[in-house]
């Protein structure tokens, strides 16, 4: 029977092969050679997943060296075919117009039992070690996984989704579609809100809006670094960079206007008249206003008037994004903090907020 089925498969007479295999299965349901031929029929009729499962089943139960060799060869052919199809699809994606634009591929947080499947999908698609893949799957915030041509990243993103690994991809240029206005202070809050702000060209102006237009809020802490002198090994003095404080950021997204209002506790002009109420920003009698007290009071006033979602996972996102920031050329963070040297934390926050804005826009 083995020779007859093999001859039918060699002649691509799949109908006759299937008929013979049905008879063979009835006569010898546990014959490993019969299972090898079933796998080959599935393989040649483009039922690749079924063929892989059949070959693996043969390897699990067979103890005949020739049978096992045939099953391994079948798995090898399937792997080569899958890789060939993958390379062809990747080449087609790279050939699409605009596919060379810079893009970002991000992994979406996965929790619970789904993490195992997500890690397996990441390992399979990206050809990495399964243990390393488990460490790459985020549990809290988006993880920036790769920066490169958008055509290639879209191909990988679609492959990851098909492999049960949540992911999405964006063009870097699309993140900058929203206009950024750096808020200096609130001038009024009724009947409309009016803020005095600077645009991306540092021009001073005003914007009026309703609180209901705020679609979402984004918060984050940006470390402020300073050079300090410390004693190292053997008591030797060393100059090191340490985090001395944090700048607090708040972005208000006005989705309908395609703009973001950016507030920072270091640049907000608290000396201006408080328009929210007649009380001073610091409600503690006899205590001189501090930046933190003023900022917290300002946030409380905004929170009382805005009920939209708030995104506060920036620092978890930044842990994985900082190493990629240098690959984002000409990426203006639109954050005016006094720093002795530029920091990747600033563009990381702008990237985080821009991604959130873009995702909401696409929903």
Residue 237, judged by CB atoms within 10 A of its CB (0-12, 13-18, 19+), counts as exposed
- The structural architecture, per CATH, of the domain 102-173 is 2-Layer Sandwich (3.30)
Beta strands, E only, the chain: 102-107, 143-149, 167-171, 179-188, 193-198, 204-209, 216-231, 237-254, 259-264, 310-311
Locate the domains of the chain by residue range: 2-92, 102-173, 176-362
pLDDT value of residue 235: 65
CA 139 to the chain's CA centroid: 11
Q: Label residue 157 by pLDDT band (50, 70, 90).
A: very high
- Give 247's strand partners: 222
Record: fold of 2-92: 1.25.40
Residues 218-258: pLDDT tens digits?
A: 999 999 987 666 666 666 766 667 788 999 999 999 999 99
Task: State residue 231 phi and psi, 5-degree precision.
Answer: -90, 125
Q: How are beta strands 216-231 and 310-311 bridged, if at all? A: parallel
Which range is most confident: 60-69, 73-82, 258-267? 258-267
Q: Is pLDDT at 293 greater than 60 in this prediction?
A: yes
Cα gap 240→230, rounded to integer Å = 7
Which range is most confident: 180-184, 276-280, 337-341? 180-184
Cα gap 329→319, rounded to integer Å = 20
Which range is most confident: 78-82, 114-118, 274-278? 114-118
Residues 316-349: pLDDT tens digits?
A: 999 999 999 999 988 999 999 988 888 999 999 9
Residue 213: partners with Cβ closer than 8 Å, 6 or more residues away: 254, 255, 256, 257
DSSP readout, 77-105? HHHHHHHHHHHHHHHHHHHSTTTTSEEEE
pTM: 0.80
């Amino acid at each position: 029977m083995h020779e007859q089925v093999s001859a039918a498969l060699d002649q691509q007479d799949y109908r006759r092969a299937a008929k013979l295999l049905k008879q063979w299965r009835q006569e010898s349901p546990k014959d490993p050679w019969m299972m090898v031929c079933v796998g080959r029929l599935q393989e040649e009729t483009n039922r690749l997943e079924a063929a892989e499962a059949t070959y693996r089943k043969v390897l699990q139960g067979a103890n005949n060296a020739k049978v096992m060799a045939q099953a391994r060869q079948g798995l090898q052919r399937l792997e080569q075919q899958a890789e060939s199809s993958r390379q062809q699809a990747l080449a087609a994606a790279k050939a699409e117009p605009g596919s060379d634009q810079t893009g970002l591929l991000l992994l979406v947080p996965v929790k619970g039992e789904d993490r195992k499947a997500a890690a397996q999908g990441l390992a399979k698609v990206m050809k990495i070690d399964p243990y390393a893949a488990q460490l790459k799957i985020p549990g809290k915030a988006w993880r920036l996984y790769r920066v490169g041509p958008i055509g290639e990243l879209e191909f990988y993103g679609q492959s990851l989704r098909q492999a049960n690994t949540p992911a999405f991809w964006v063009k870097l240029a699309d993140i900058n579609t929203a206009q950024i206005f750096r808020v200096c202070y609130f001038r009024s809050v009724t009947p409309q809100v009016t803020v005095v702000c600077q645009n991306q060209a540092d021009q001073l102006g005003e914007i009026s809006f309703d609180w209901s237009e705020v679609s979402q809020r984004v918060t984050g802490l940006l470390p402020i670094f300073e050079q300090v002198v410390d004693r190292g090994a053997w008591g030797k003095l060393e100059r090191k960079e340490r985090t001395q404080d944090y700048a607090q950021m708040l972005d208000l997204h006005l989705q309908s206007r395609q703009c973001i209002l950016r507030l920072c506790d270091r640049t907000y002009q608290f000396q201006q008249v408080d328009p929210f109420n007649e009380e001073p920003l610091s409600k503690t009698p006899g205590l001189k206003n501090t930046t933190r007290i003023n900022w917290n009071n300002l946030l409380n006033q905004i929170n009382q008037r805005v009920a939209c979602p708030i995104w506060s996972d920036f620092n978890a996102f930044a842990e994985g994004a900082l190493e990629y920031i240098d690959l984002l050329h000409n990426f203006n963070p639109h954050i005016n903090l006094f720093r002795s040297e530029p920091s990747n934390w600033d563009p990381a926050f702008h990237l985080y907020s821009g991604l959130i804005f873009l995702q909401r826009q696409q929903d």
